[in-house]
């Protein structure tokens, strides 16, 4: 397998989305190619950095409360002014 193809597979490998055959092919290639091994580590790191560094915003309490109330009332729509497109 060429390095280009291996690099494409790496992205899906990081997500655990390779077929077992693809996985085997990639593993074989990584054994032989040190550049791709480094690249694979970088690919894992990229995913990790997104997961760690992207701030996740929590829903404001007012929204949580309003959804709770809506669900408790059987989700009858509030008659707040509807948003107009």
SS3 12: helix
Task: Identify whether the C-beta of residue 70 lies closer than 8 Å to the C-beta of residue 62.
Answer: no
> From the list 15, 24, 28, 31, which residue makes contact with another protein (rule: CB under 8 A)?
15
Alpha-carbon Rg for the chain in angstroms: 23
By CB under 8 A, name the one of 12, 25, 33, 37 that touches another protein. Answer: 12
Among 24, 27, 31, 70, binds another protein (CB under 8 A): 70
What are the residues binding another protein (CB under 8 A)?
7-8, 11-12, 15, 17, 38, 42-43, 45-60, 62-64, 66-80, 83, 85
């Amino acid at each position: 397998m060429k390095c280009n193809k291996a690099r494409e597979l790496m992205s899906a490998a990081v997500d655990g989305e390779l077929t077992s055959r693809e996985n085997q092919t990639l593993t074989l290639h990584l054994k032989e190619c040190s550049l791709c091994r480094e690249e694979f580590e970088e690919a894992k790191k990229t995913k990790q950095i997104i997961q760690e560094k992207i701030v996740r915003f929590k829903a404001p309490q007012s929204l949580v409360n309003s959804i709770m109330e809506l669900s408790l009332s059987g989700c009858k729509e509030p008659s707040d002014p509807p948003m107009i497109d």
